[in-house]
């Protein structure tokens, strides 16, 4: 199916602002009917989220205060890509920094887009297993708790509103289908080279 009747083409672009963290742009686009409109959106470097599976079937989670939301949230470990960093390397780095865990095996699951109307953000989703615990190395100014939960506890929290972070809810969809056998993963040792399809 052609998407010409839906597609918007850029005809101009200006910087909206560049903050310490946020970087936003306003583009002028030609709509499918020939009219023009503006699109304002955040430029994001991309991120990685990791579902760490312990040998006893529990998962590793974090509790972190999220200022825009105004409360502590339950999330899987995640972090932004450094410039030029491969997603799996980012996942390994963030998992170690935030939780202290290293994983013997990694599996790439897929990607998600977070706020499709106003952000370029893409998140690469990995599973990790064969975990061993070392020392975590939080960034300065980073405060978060690490804890573990059973898959039933996590599912209950997704249902009752204790988990509302969309990337973590998406991880829960994957986890449920991976553990049921419906969505098998292609596991690779940590030394092996791989990446997003």
Q: Tell me which residues in 140-179 interact with its own copies (CB under 8 A).
A: 141, 143-145, 155, 158-159, 161, 164-167, 169-170, 172-173, 176-177
The long-range contacts involving 133-139, CB below 8 angstroms and separated by at least 24 positions, are 133/100, 133/101, 134/96, 134/100, 134/101, 134/102, 135/100, 136/96, 136/97, 136/98, 136/99, 136/100, 137/96, 137/97, 137/100, 138/97, 138/98, 139/97
Mark 104-133 with x for binding to its own copies (rule: CB under 8 A) and - for no binding: ------xxxxxxxxxxxxxx----------
Q: Is 136 in the site for its own copies (CB under 8 A)?
A: no
Residue 103 Cβ, how far from its own copies at the closest point, in Å?
A: 22
Q: Which one of the spans 38-46, 85-93, 126-134, 186-194 is the region binding its own copies (CB under 8 A)? A: 38-46
The size of the interface with its own copies (CB under 8 A), counted in residues, is: 71
Q: Is 7 in the site for its own copies (CB under 8 A)?
A: yes
Q: Would you say 177 or 189 has its CB closer to its own copies?
A: 177
Structural tokens at position 188: 């690779």
Q: Residue 171: name the closest of 38, 25, 48, 45 by CA.
A: 48
Q: Is 181 in the site for its own copies (CB under 8 A)?
A: no
Distance (Å, whole) CA 158 – CA 41: 29
Q: Which one of the spans 11-19, 52-60, 86-94, 99-107 is the region binding its own copies (CB under 8 A)? A: 11-19
Residue 55 Cβ, how far from its own copies at the closest point, in Å?
A: 25
Of 47-106, which residues contact its own copies (CB under 8 A)?
63-69, 71-73, 75
Strand order in the sheet with 36-42: 9-18, 23-30, 36-42
Backbone angles phi and psi of 128, in degrees to 5: -135, 140
Q: Would you say 66 or 104 has its CB closer to its own copies?
A: 66
């Amino acid at each position: 199916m052609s998407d010409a009747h839906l597609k918007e083409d850029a005809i101009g672009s200006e910087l909206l602002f560049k903050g310490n963290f946020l970087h936003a742009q306003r583009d002028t686009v030609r709509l499918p009917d020939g009219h023009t409109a503006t699109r304002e959106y955040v430029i994001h470097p991309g991120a990685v989220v990791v579902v760490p599976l312990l040998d006893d079937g529990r998962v590793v989670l974090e509790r972190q205060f999220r200022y825009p939301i105004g409360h502590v949230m339950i999330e899987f470990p995640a972090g932004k890509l450094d410039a030029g960093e491969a997603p799996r390397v980012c996942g390994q780095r963030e998992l170690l920094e935030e939780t202290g865990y290293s994983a013997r095996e990694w599996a790439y699951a897929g990607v998600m887009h977070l706020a499709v109307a106003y952000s370029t953000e893409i998140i690469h989703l990995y599973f990790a297993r064969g975990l061993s615990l070392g020392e975590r190395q939080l960034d300065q100014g980073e405060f978060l708790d690490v804890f573990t939960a059973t898959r039933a506890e996590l599912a209950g929290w997704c249902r009752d509103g204790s988990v509302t972070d969309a990337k973590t809810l998406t991880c829960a969809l994957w986890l449920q289908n991976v553990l049921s056998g419906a969505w098998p993963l292609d596991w690779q040792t940590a030394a092996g080279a791989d990446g997003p399809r």
